């Protein structure tokens, strides 16, 4: 009498639970259906690509943010990392690295991209060290790096914009704009990148010990540590991964605009948190899915783009976005309660 098959839950409860679990998808479909009627041309292929590009930037950040939130932390610095990395990209395209003595090293596109990612990972590393070694609360640590990174971005150009980042064929960086505006098989490069990062993150979360540890640390840090999970390493990873995601966004924006401005990415962190929460990530840690987060990012993106197409005032958009997030969390609570009850019923029916 150990593992007996699960007794069937009453049909209506099961259906309700299914609906609640897939609520972000349901919301996505509802939003899509609504704008298909309300906003002409919304479902056209051209518009879909445009919306996807808008969504992608937020989705990158939200993926990194999801891992951080699952461990029970928060990363407020991602917006600033975006700005800093955009400036680094701009600087490298324009100036390379000046060694003094009248010499400078110039980089090709790939090298620039790798260096920018390194900067993002580096800021994430600092976040991680502050949080694990020096025991600073994640909120405070990343709030600090938010200011420092933003300040560094402003200092890099004295607050000015780096213009004309067309690259230089001589140095092999002429392909720099391609990152943000190029296409492969008809889809923008950045969408391919998002697919890649999304699949990678999803794979990590579901099919690797590291992913399991991320959930375990968020669910019960002490318990995880006593079970042999290297909590410090797990936390270092999530902040570095979040920094990497932010670096990609900085790179893409600099490339897309062929210019980089130090204020790039301001308040992006809030949109990323919103997407993660909308996708079912629990702020108290331990719960969340990469797929859910991406769908959440799409709901937010489609909502704002659709409302623009309908000509709704941007002030109203902000209000609506806030309401949607609150509604998402309220529904999330209801789902957790129902799910716990169903599980308890199953265990009770199995005869303790």
Partner 1 sequence: MSADHPIGLSIRDGVKVYPGTRALKGVDFDLRMGAVNVLVGENGAGKSTLMKVIAGVEELTEGRVEMAGKVVHFRSKSEAVAHGIGIVFQELNLFPNMTVAENIFIAREPTRAGMDIDAAKQREATRALMARLEQPIDPDTPLGTLRIGQQQIVEIAKALAQDARILILDEPTSALSAAEVEVLFRVIADLKRQGVGIVYISHRLEELIRVGDYITVLRDGAITGARSMAGVDIPWIVRAMIGDSSKEFGRTEPANFGAEVFRADNICLPRLGGGYTVDHVSLSVHAGEIVGLYGLMGAGRTEFLECVMAQHPHSTGAFHVAGKPLTERDVPGRIARGIALIPEDRKRDGLVQIMSIRENLTLSALKSYATGFHLNLKAEMKGAMEFVKRMTIKVARVENPVSSLSGGNQQKVVIGKALMTNPKILLMDEPSRGIDIGAKAEVFRTMRRLAADGLGILFVTSDLDEVLALSDRIIVMANGRITGEFPAGTDAAAVISATAPNATKAVKELAA
Q: Which residues bind partner 1 (CB under 8 A)?
A: 1-4, 6-7, 204, 207-213, 215-216, 219-220, 222-230, 286-287, 340, 343-344, 346-347, 349-352
Nearer to partner 1, 8 or 46 (CB): 8
SS3 assignment for 18-69: HHHHCHHHHHHHHHHHHHHHHCCCCCCHHHHHHHHHHHHHHHHHHHHHHHHH
Tokens of 324: 């949607």
Dump the DSSP string for 191-260: HHHHHHHHHHHHHHHHHSHHHHHHHHHHH-HHHHHHTT--HHHHHHHHHHHHHHHHHHHHHHHHHHHTSB
Is residue 131 classed as helix, strand or coil in its secondary structure? helix
Q: Report in angstroms how near the CB of residue 281 gets to partner 1 at its nearest.
A: 13
Residue number with CB closer to partner 1 (160 or 341): 341
Indicate the residue among 11 and 186 with the shorter CB distance to partner 1.
Answer: 11
CB closer to partner 1, 182 vs 209: 209
Least distance CB 223 / partner 1 (angstroms):
5
Whole-angstrom distance, CA of residue 270 vs CA of residue 56: 15
Rounded to the nearest whole angstrom, what is the least distance from the CB of residue 91 to partner 1 in the complex? 34
- Of the two residues 3 and 169, which places its CB atom closer to partner 1 in the complex? 3
C-beta closer to partner 1: residue 108 or 232? 232
As beta bridge partners, residue 97 has 105
Q: What is the rounded CA–CA span in Å between residue 61 and residue 68?
A: 11
Q: How far is the CB of 280 from partner 1 (least distance, A)?
A: 13
Least distance in angstroms from the C-beta of 18 to partner 1? 15
Name the DSSP class of 169.
G
Question: Count of CB atoms within 10 A of residue 241's CB?
Answer: 26
Least CB distance to partner 1 at residue 232 (A): 10
């Amino acid at each position: 009498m150990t593992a007996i098959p699960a007794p069937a839950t009453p049909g209506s409860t099961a259906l309700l639970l299914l609906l609640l679990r897939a609520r972000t998808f349901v919301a996505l479909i509802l939003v899509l259906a609504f704008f298909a009627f309300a906003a002409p041309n919304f479902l056209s292929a051209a518009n879909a690509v445009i919306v996807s590009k808008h969504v992608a930037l937020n989705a990158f950040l939200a993926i990194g943010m999801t891992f951080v939130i699952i461990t029970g932390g928060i990363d407020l610095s991602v917006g600033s990392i975006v700005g800093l990395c955009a400036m680094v990209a701009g600087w490298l395209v324009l100036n390379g690295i000046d060694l003094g003595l009248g010499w400078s090293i110039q980089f090709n596109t790939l090298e620039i991209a790798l260096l920018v990612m390194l900067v993002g990972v580096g800021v994430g590393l600092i976040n991680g060290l502050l949080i694990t070694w020096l025991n600073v609360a994640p909120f405070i640590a990343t709030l600090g790096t938010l200011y420092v990174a933003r300040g560094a971005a402003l200092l890099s150009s004295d607050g000015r914009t780096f213009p004309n980042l067309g690259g230089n064929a001589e140095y092999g960086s002429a392909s720099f704009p391609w990152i943000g505006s190029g296409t492969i098989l008809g889809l923008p490069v950045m969408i391919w990148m998002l697919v890649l990062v999304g699949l990678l993150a999803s794979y990590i979360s579901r099919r690797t010990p590291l992913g399991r540890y991320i959930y375990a640390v968020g669910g019960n840090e002490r318990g995880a540590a006593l079970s042999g999970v290297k909590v410090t390493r797990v936390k270092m990873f999530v902040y570095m991964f979040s920094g990497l995601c932010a670096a990609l966004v900085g790179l893409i924006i600099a490339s897309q605009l062929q210019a980089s401005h130090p204020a790039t990415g301001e308040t992006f962190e809030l949109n990323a948190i919103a997407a993660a929460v909308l996708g079912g990530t629990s702020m108290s840690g331990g719960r969340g899915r990469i797929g859910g987060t991406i769908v959440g990012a799409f709901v937010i993106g489609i909502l704002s783009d659709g409302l623009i197409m309908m000509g709704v005032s941007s002030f109203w958009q902000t209000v609506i976005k806030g309401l949607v997030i609150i509604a998402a969390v309220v529904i999330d609570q209801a789902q957790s309660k129902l799910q716990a009850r169903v599980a308890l019923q199953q265990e009770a029916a199995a005869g303790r």
